[in-house]
Structure 1
Amino acid sequence: MTGEPKSSAGGRLLTLAAWTVLVLGLWLWGREITDVRPLPSAQAGSMFGISLPVAHAPLPGAALPQRVDVPSIGVRAPVVPRGLDAQGAIDPPPYDRPGTVGWWQGGTRPGAAGTALLVGHVDTASKPAVFYGLSSAKPGDEVRVVRDDGSTAEFTVEDVQVYERSSFDAHKAYGPRVTGRAELRLVTCGGTYDKVAKQYTANVVVSAYLTGVESPRRA
């Protein structure tokens, strides 16, 4: 996602239209999460020709995300809960905090069973933002989500996809890969920037699943 404060004239803005497809996908995903069919998934260890770890059992769902780290692309960012605005669109991370990641609080908490969603801007009018390098993530990369109970949910990337807005499929983007797993999606804008429409033409979606947990440190 990209944007700057509405008070800054002449810059690229994250318009409501830029979020429309994402919001529609979230609405469909949330509305049908109880009956959406899992997407086909190869066994861990055979996907993409590399060895992927076995999934860890989901964690208790009470803890909230505080920070997300993706070491392979240099991301270490605070996480803030986001909901829907008055128009029914997802409220993005604040424009004046391009290094912040938003967690869609209407969905799953990272580490719990289901699919948790983290969204972030790709750039601003003048510089890269938190998820600028997201499209370069690779299967096998680690994603760590620090939770407010002191634990860290450790995820492994299994897939990186670019979905064109014109043919966006909510089930492919957000549907669970394997029933009962704790999964994570990291989402930002991708494709090319349309200067007329003032939005990007696609979304980058990184899919990961829970493979470990670091327990809270005892004093």
Structure 2
Amino acid sequence: MAERERSSGAGRLLMGVAWAMLLVGLWLWGHEMSDIRQGISAPTTGDIAAVGRPPEVRLPPALKPLGNATPQRIDIPSMKVQAPVVGRGLDPQGAIDPPPFDQPGVVGWYAAGVRPGAVGTALFVGHVDTETRPAVFYKLSAVQPGETVRVIRDDGTVAEFTVDDVQVFSRDHFDAQQAYGPRESGRAELRLVTCGGTFDRASRTYTANVVVSAYLTGDGL
């Protein structure tokens, strides 16, 4: 029984994260190859559970994008997260290669894509859990619109983002362009991605992905 439980936990980590990363990788592949704006899968109408943006939340104006700089750390005060950021590429299947499984407290950034703070959408990914404990993005689905995400960059600046949307996308009718594509042209945007929904033991994957969208609203030293 102990061996089975260990094996099940390892599968939960591996397949759950692989699913989240694959969705991002598929969007990157389709976007870079064809620049299709309408997405690469079936419409998501009726298939999204979202925190969304409560009408009473007033969001600040977007800040003009910053210059290019490499992220070193991400701070999410509402989650009490202060985590190192490592650059990641694509695996042989075209999915973003997540942080190592033995480093659940590390956040991965798609290094061939947009740098956080520059114009476009920067993509960050992280584990939701391990076989024994929560991981860095375990509380990501609890983030609220209006909250702050800070990315410390290697030029000494801090790119401050404001969360404007939190969504849980079903894997069955997933529209990657809607999840990861830019919300407004010309802005510096950020996506934080992890697994969500429930863990399906039959397929050994999570049933959804949590996607937090944010945009640049401040900078500092």
TM-score range, shorter chain: 0.7 to 0.9
In 2, the alpha carbon distance for the partners of 1:154 and 1:165 equals 30
Give the alignment of 1:70-149 within 5 angstroms: 70-149=76-155
Of 46, 64, 74, which aligns to 1:57? 64
Shift of 1:202: 0.4
Distance 1:17 1:102, change over 3 A: closer
| 1:162-201 map, 5 Å | 162-201=168-207
Preserved contact between residue 23 and residue 95 of structure 2 (Cα < 8 Å): no
What per-residue deviation string (whole Å, max 9, x for no partner) do you get for residues 91-128 of structure 1? Answer: 11110000000001121000000000000000001100
Judge conservation of contact 2:88–2:96 (CA < 8 Å) in 1. yes
| Partner secondary structure for residue 11 of structure 1 | helix
**Other-structure match for 1:24:** 26
Question: Does structure 1 conserve the Cα–Cα contact (< 8 Å) formed by 2:29 and 2:94?
Answer: no
Aligned residue for 2:141, secondary structure, equals helix
For residues 60 and 140 of structure 1, the distance between their equivalents in structure 2, rounded to whole angstroms, comes to 24
1:47 Cα offset (Å): 6.5
Distance in 2, Cα, partners of 1:99 & 1:179 = 32
Match of 1:211 among 211, 214, 217: 217
2:3 match: none
Distance 1:32 1:57 in 2: 28
Structure 2 unaligned spans of 5+:
1-5, 39-52
Number of equivalenced pairs: 198
Residue 151 to residue 50, structure 1, CA distance change in 2 (3 Å): same
Does the CA-based 8 Å contact 1:121-1:189 persist in structure 2?
A: yes
Structure with greater helix percent: 2
Take 2:185 and 2:161, find their aligned partners in 1: how far apart are those partners? Answer: 16
Cα distance in structure 2, aligned partners of 1:106 and 1:31: 15
Percent identity over the alignment? 59
Shift of 1:17: 5.8
How far off its partner does 1:10 sit? 4.5
| Structure 1 residues 186 and 17, CA gap change in structure 2 (3 angstroms) | closer
The answer to whether the 8 A contact 1:77-1:99 is kept is yes
Partner of 1:156: 162
* More off after superposition, 13-22 vs 110-119: 13-22
Q: Secondary structure at the match of 1:150?
A: coil
Under a length normalisation based on structure 1, what TM-score does the superposition of the two structures give?
A: 0.84
Q: Which runs of structure 1 show a deviation greater than 6 angstroms over 4 or more consecutive aligned residues?
A: none
Give secondary structure in 1 for the equivalent of 2:55: helix
